[in-house]
Amino acid sequence: MPDVTPNRLYFGDNLDILREQIADASVDLIYLDPPFNSNVNYNALFREQGGEQSAAQITAFEDTWHWGPESEAAYRGVVTDGPRRWSDLLQSLRAFLGANDMMAYLTMMAPRLAELHRVLKPAGSIYLHCDPTASHYLKLMMDAIFEPRNFCNEIIWHYRKWPAGRYAFQRNHDVILFYSRSPSRERTFNQLYMERAASTRQRFGNAKIVSGRDASGRRAPSQVETRESQGVRQDDVWPIPRVAPAQQLFPTQKPETLLERIITASSDEGDLVLDPFCGGGTATVAAERLNRRWIGIDVTHLAMSLIRHRLHYSFGSDLRPYAVAGVPQDTASAAALAAHDRCQFEWWAVSLVDARPNNDRRKGADGGIDGIINFFDDDGGKAKRVAVQVKSGSVSRGAVAQLKTDLQTAGAEIGIFITLNPPTGPMRQEAASAGFYTPEHFPGHQYPRLQIMTIDELLSGKVAQYPRYAPPSTFRRAPRRTRTLGQQSGLV
Ligand SMILES: C[S@@+](CC[C@H](N)C(=O)[O-])C[C@H]1O[C@@H](n2cnc3c(N)ncnc32)[C@H](O)[C@@H]1O
Rounded to whole angstroms, the Cα distance separating 144 from 79 reads: 13
Query: Which of 118, 100, 88 shows the shortest CA–CA distance to 24?
Result: 118
pTM assigned to the model: 0.81
Q: Which atom of ligand 1 is nearest to the CA of 280?
A: 9
- Structural domain count of the chain: 3
Query: Which of 435, 437, 317 shows the shortest CA–CA distance to 377?
Result: 437
In a domain, 476, yes or no: no
Hey, whose CA ends up nearest to atom 17 of ligand 1? 299
pLDDT digits (tens, 9 = 90+) for 174-222: 999 999 999 878 899 999 998 877 777 777 777 666 666 666 766 666 5
Q: Is the CB of 13 within 6 Å of ligand 1?
A: yes
C-alpha 32 – ligand 1 centre gap (Å):
8
Q: What is the dihedral of CA 372, 353, 243, 180, to 10 degrees?
A: 150
Same domain membership, residue 244 and residue 125: yes
CATH number, domain at 423? Answer: 3.40.1350.10
In a domain, 142, yes or no: yes
Rounded to whole angstroms, the Cα distance separating 312 from 319 reads: 7
Hey, whose CA ends up nearest to atom 13 of ligand 1? 277
In a domain, 13, yes or no: yes
Rg of the chain on CA atoms, in Å: 26
Query: In the listed set 310, 325, 340, which residue is the last one of a domain according to the structure?
Result: 325
Q: Is the CB of 390 within 6 Å of ligand 1?
A: no
Angle at 64 between CA 63 and CA 65, to 5 degrees: 135
Same domain membership, residue 432 and residue 336: yes
In a domain, 382, yes or no: yes
pLDDT digits (tens, 9 = 90+) for 128-158: 999 999 999 999 999 999 999 999 999 999 9
Give the count of beta carbons closer than 10 Å to the beta carbon of residue 27. 28
Rounded to whole angstroms, the Cα distance separating 346 from 359 reads: 9
Helix (H) or strand (E) holding 91: helix 84-97
Which domain covers residue 378, as residue numbers? Answer: 331-459
Q: Residue 394 CA to chain centroid, in angstroms?
A: 34
Same domain membership, residue 200 and residue 185: no
pLDDT digits (tens, 9 = 90+) for 280-336: 899 999 999 999 999 999 988 888 888 887 888 789 889 999 998 988 989 999 999
Residue type, 152: C
Residue 116, Ramachandran bin (φ over 0: left; ψ between -120 and 50: alpha; else beta): alpha
Residue of 127, 277, 278, 348 to mutate, ligand 1, most atoms within 8 A of C-beta: 277
In a domain, 134, yes or no: yes
Same domain membership, residue 147 and residue 258: yes
Same domain membership, residue 42 and residue 97: yes
Same domain membership, residue 148 and residue 210: no
Same domain membership, residue 215 and residue 152: no
Higher pLDDT, 166 or 8: 8
Rounded to whole angstroms, the Cα distance separating 165 from 384 reads: 41
Beta pairing class for 237-239 and 151-158: parallel
Most confident stretch, 24-33, 408-417, 481-490: 24-33
Same domain membership, residue 152 and residue 211: no
